[in-house]
Structure 1
Amino acid sequence: MILDILLEVVLPVFVLIGVGSLMQRVFELDLYTLAKINFYFITPAAVFMSMYLSEMSGELLGTIALFYAMYSLILYLIGCIVAKSFKFNKGMKAAFNNSIMLDNAGNYGMPISALVFKGDPLAASIQAFIMSMQSLLTFTYGVLSIQGAQLKGNYRSLVIGFLKMPVPYALLLGILWNALGAPLPTFLSMPLTYAQQSMVAVALLTLGAQIVKYPLRLGRVTVYVSMFIRLLIAPVIGVTLVYLLGLEGMTAQALIIASGMPTGVNASILAEEYRNEPDFAAQTVLISTLFNVITLIGLIALARTF
């Protein structure tokens, strides 16, 4: 089983990440343009199509939302305990909590789900919903925590940034179209399907290019504390919540795997945007992604027992 996971899921993912890293070193790709293509078209298209084709009931959506709310709250409390133990200042506390709460559910989690579950509509819908909630968390708590640490209080820009996010709109439109049972015109369905099918390759190539941007440093203890929580404690929380909520089958498997994603690039983007511990944030993204090669194999193997 472990060899199958390595060959069928992990290696394809990291081959694409490696190609993206190599292309960035050779060609110095325009990361801004790549990020915009992912953020404003490919990811929303994948989310819309996943929800449009979804067979999730309203009850299942509510259960997943409850799972994610409890999961995020527990990680926040753990982050606060660690911050107090290490006597972090407000800025470092915000950066640390973002590093463990904001995972890479989009340009890493979505491709992983597609490869593990071979494009199953239910699994894709669950991951798309998780990614949408992750986006909401990023532009609410993620931004507020940093602004609160810096005492800027620029809540107008927060609201504007939130309203500019395309993923929540794609999520709601997909759910609505699904509920209405309305057919999708070919001139819309074909472009959206092409975009959805390109998501795995484009997202992972972009991630590989983004990772190269940050120099690797191995001497910061707090980075490893963050990685330990993100890659080991977070999946334990996920498995526990799956048991408590009585979930099983593909739903349980998808949520367990989703709980073990590395720190998201958004944590680093926010840190750079607000000049709040950018080096720490960049290192958590890079190192947690590298070590996820190991933890992901074990997590997928564990999830398949449910």
Structure 2
Amino acid sequence: MSLSELAATFANNLLPVILLCAAGFLLQRAFSIDSRSLGRVIFYLFSPILAFDLLLKNDLPLAEMGRTVAFCLATMSVMAALTLLVGRALRLDRATLTALVLTVAFANTGNYGLPLVSFAFGEDALAHATLYFVTTSILFNTVGVIIASLGRLNFKQALSGMLKVPTVYAVILAALLNQFHVVLPLPLERTISLAAGGAIPMMIILLGVELARVEWSRSLRAVGIGAGMRLILGPLVGLALAIPFGLQGAALQGNIVETATPAAVTNTVLAAEFNLDSSLVTAIVFIGTILSPLTLTPLLVYLGR
């Protein structure tokens, strides 16, 4: 793994994401963009269309889809369990520990992970990464909400959150159409492809907009633990679990990159909503995103061999 190889990988795959993210950051600073409205456009329109388009084109077998979902569940469960062990060993208070579990378990698999996989490995890997992203979205809106509420919400209430994730329905519809070999009319197919093409740039811009709104935390130790576990332990756990799950080729590339992304910006929303240490969460998100090229660049080189 030479220096020139690392530099080329960074320039070709990570730099485009960083530059567009920086544009979103500067736009937010200059014009105070309404990130909530932008996020809703992505959540309800672009994300489901992107998932539908990718899965319809790639026609992944149901067994392959199930394996990706199971791998995602296993990876996130292990990361959450390890964070609990570390937090209890360090005797962190409940609010800080809950914030750490959220940021370590829930990575930025959408705004960051999908563009990165797209640039580095193309549509085959992106289809697997999209399934990983959809699974994390479902878990975030159910398990994530339960964790953040410290048990104040029951499973039925959390389940209603899952039913509000439109990408879930897009995945189901794409799987059904593939199963019955349905061909879309050309005008509809082109409309979907056109909208899907705008999804990834919009996601990156939103990431920049959200990062411009974060506030700093005073707990440097907790920030270091959260960012370090997310960026270093995440891909190591993913690579270890990839062996028993038999992930290879595009499936390995798409899934492992998703395990290695920094903490999701959406964690800050839950932290603020449920009175956790929101400044800690946002600091982990910001620091992790800034440092992520240092860990993701060599990982992309390794996965590309």
User: What's the TM-score bracket when you normalise by the shorter of the two chains?
Assistant: over 0.9
Distance 1:40 1:79 in 2: 32
Describe how 1:56-71 pairs up with structure 2 within 5 A.
Answer: 56-71=60-75
Counterpart code for 2:229? I
Q: Is the 8 A contact 1:111 1:199 kept in 2?
A: no
Match of residue 171 from structure 2: 171
Residues 1:224 and 2:224 aligned together: yes
Residues 1:294 and 2:265 aligned together: no
RMSD: 1.6
Counterpart code for 1:215? E
Distance 1:3 1:71 in 2: 29
Any idea what SS the aligned residue of 1:265 has? coil
Q: TM-score, normalised by structure 2?
A: 0.93
Counterpart code for 2:223? V
Match of residue 261 from structure 1: 261
Match of residue 112 from structure 1: 116
Counterpart code for 2:49? A
Q: 1:100 aligns with which of 104, 113, 130?
A: 104
The Cα shift of 1:202 comes to 1.0
Distance 2:219 2:105 in 1: 22
Residues 1:91 and 2:95 aligned together: yes
Distance 2:40 2:83 in 1: 31
Distance 1:272 1:192 in 2: 35
- Give 5+ residue unaligned stretches, structure 1: none
The Cα shift of 1:218 comes to 6.9
Q: Is the 8 A contact 1:264 1:285 kept in 2?
A: yes
Distance 1:278 1:154 in 2: 23
Counterpart code for 1:95? A
Distance 1:160 1:247 in 2: 32
Counterpart code for 1:159? L
Q: Is the 8 A contact 2:267 2:281 kept in 1?
A: yes
The Cα shift of 1:95 comes to 1.4
Match of residue 280 from structure 1: 280
Match of residue 197 from structure 2: 197
Q: Is the 8 A contact 1:49 1:192 kept in 2?
A: yes
Distance 1:37 1:80 in 2: 35
Residues 1:39 and 2:40 aligned together: no
Match of residue 152 from structure 2: 152
Worse overlay, 243-252 or 261-270: 243-252
Match of residue 270 from structure 1: 270
The Cα shift of 1:217 comes to 4.8
Distance 1:289 1:9 in 2: 15
Worse overlay, 153-162 or 107-116: 153-162
Distance 2:219 2:95 in 1: 20
Deviations 1:156-191 (A, max 9, x none): 542332211111111111111111110112343222
Counterpart code for 1:84? R
Deviations 1:211-235 (A, max 9, x none): 0001345752101101111000110
Q: Is the 8 A contact 1:54 1:178 kept in 2?
A: no
The Cα shift of 1:90 comes to 2.9
The Cα shift of 1:9 comes to 0.6
Distance 2:19 2:84 in 1: 36
Distance 1:16 1:161, change over 3 A: same
Worse overlay, 187-196 or 105-114: 187-196
Fraction of identical pairs, as percent: 23
Worse overlay, 197-206 or 55-64: 55-64
The Cα shift of 1:39 comes to 0.6
The Cα shift of 1:154 comes to 5.6
Distance 2:70 2:206 in 1: 31
The Cα shift of 1:60 comes to 1.5
Distance 2:76 2:133 in 1: 13
Counterpart code for 2:153? G
Match of residue 80 from structure 1: 84
Match of residue 136 from structure 1: 138
Q: Is the 8 A contact 2:33 2:209 kept in 1?
A: yes
Distance 1:40 1:99, change over 3 A: same
